[in-house]
Structure 1
Amino acid sequence: MDKPVVCVGALVKGPSGKWLIARTTKWRGHWGVPGGKVEYGEPFEAAVKREFREEVGLTLRDARFAQLQEAVLSPEFHKEAHFVLVDFLAETNDETVTPNEEIVEWAWVDLRAALTFDLNTYTRTLVEYALEHA
């Protein structure tokens, strides 16, 4: 990649009050949140809703911007990349995950319990944000 890529992701609360975290094939074994690249002409909120449908089969509601992060050549990512990460907090009415090929494992957890997982740096920051603002 020769320029930064804009990506969206969300920490999502289900009807049980627990939050979804996932381990994917792309973060060298670290846990994170579902998300992905924003397509040209696609608003951020539409992108995060699309990515959740594609990766875990969930429909998001009440998606709200949380924070902006930058991942520059992170050794946690499986290849060299420069990302602008647009993070959301959201909710879903269903906790039935239908994973795509990128999702290795997932868990619905309390926010404090999420911090005991081997989270990637950017997800850890998002969970800490949620603890303060959710």
Structure 2
Amino acid sequence: MAYHKNKKHPIPVVGAYVFNKQGKILLIKSKKYKDKYGGPGGHIEFGETIEQALKRELFEETGLLVSNPKLFDIKELINSKEYKKSGHFVSFRLYGCAFSDKVKLDPKEAYEYVWVYPKKALKMNVMEPTKQSIKKLIKLKKDGELS
């Protein structure tokens, strides 16, 4: 869309926080994250719901399907140094459980992935906005609010 290029409007995006059956979370390493770990995600296309965008982006980047993703966080990233592209992003963060943990990365999107327990992820080379969202997930789980 044209307004993305002129940077006069916020850009809506989704971020996927996907768990496997062992309770590990999926992180991908990408050039767009300046070679740090982050979650799969991307732009919301015109006419898509947040959930539809998340499912599409997750499948395109990893080949994974997720069941019943739930919104748990919204982050505003304004010219964040964490991303290769600058801009004003409004990131809708959703979590869900993957039907499988067999990842098939799109090499244009990411070049490495790892399934890791959330607390261990905080000690890795993870983007700061991703760490903040993982901390929120850990707290939600501890408080019994994560289904």
Which range, TM-score by smaller chain? Answer: over 0.9
In the TM superposition, what is the alpha-carbon distance from 1:56 to its structure 2 partner? 0.2
Which one-letter code corresponds to 1:131 in the other structure?
A: I
Does residue 1:72 correspond to 2:81, yes or no? Answer: no
TM-score, normalised to structure 2's length? 0.88
Identity of aligned residues (%): 30
Question: Within 1, Cα distance between the matches of 2:88 and 2:115?
Answer: 29
Does residue 1:11 correspond to 2:17, yes or no? Answer: yes
Query: Which residues of 2 match residues 36-115 of structure 1 at below 5 A?
Result: 36-100=42-106, 101-115=108-122
Question: Within 2, Cα distance between the matches of 1:83 and 1:121?
Answer: 15
- In structure 1, runs of 5+ residues without a counterpart are none
Equivalent in 114, 126, 129 of residue 133 of structure 2: 126
- Greater gyration radius: 2
1:32-86 per-position Cα deviation (integer Å, ceiling 9, x unaligned): 0000000011000010000000000000102000110000001111122210000
TM-score, normalised to structure 1's length? 0.96
May I ask how many residue pairs the two structures share in their alignment? 134
Equivalent in 27, 31, 34 of residue 25 of structure 1: 31
Aligned alpha-carbon RMSD (Å)? 1.0
Relative contact order higher in (CA < 8 Å, ≥ 6 apart): 1
In the TM superposition, what is the alpha-carbon distance from 1:131 to its structure 2 partner? 0.2
- In structure 2, runs of 5+ residues without a counterpart are 142-147
Name the structure with the higher helix share: 2
Question: Within 1, Cα distance between the matches of 2:47 and 2:85?
Answer: 26
